[in-house]
Structure 1
């Protein structure tokens, strides 16, 4: 009694026909999950922040704090 020989010819193609669609499907699924759980909330947070951001006010506050070396505070 001997064991049957394993099928070696065409093994890669047979396995790829099964695993490749699964790999693509899972990658698209996880990309969509990442987009809607991480990227979209992050974009919304940036949009909300810059909706009320006043760059001139922020610049003047940093200038008054002495952060910039090339810009003097307005009181001097």
Structure 2
């Protein structure tokens, strides 16, 4: 075995080449995770809020809190 049989490593431009690959992979993974979070968590949360506010009656809630004596400035109905 001679020393000339071993190929020299490609060092010139190695960082730029590897950065291009890893940035592309990181960008793809980040977009995939963000999209998954939006559709799995965000949409279900948005639907839950929409369902809650379809049935929510703010005046009924206010009257319940007023009759419980929560507010200091509003007297309960007698």
Please give the TM-score of this superposition, normalised by the length of structure 1. Answer: 0.86
Aligned pair count reads: 74
Classify the secondary structure of the residue corresponding to 2:42.
Answer: helix
Match of 2:65 in 1: 62
TM-score using structure 2 length:
0.84
Among 39, 48, 51, the residue aligned to 1:48: 51
The equivalences for 1:1-76 within 5 A come to: 1=3, 4=8, 7=11, 9-75=12-78
Q: Over alpha carbons, which structure has the higher Rg? A: 2
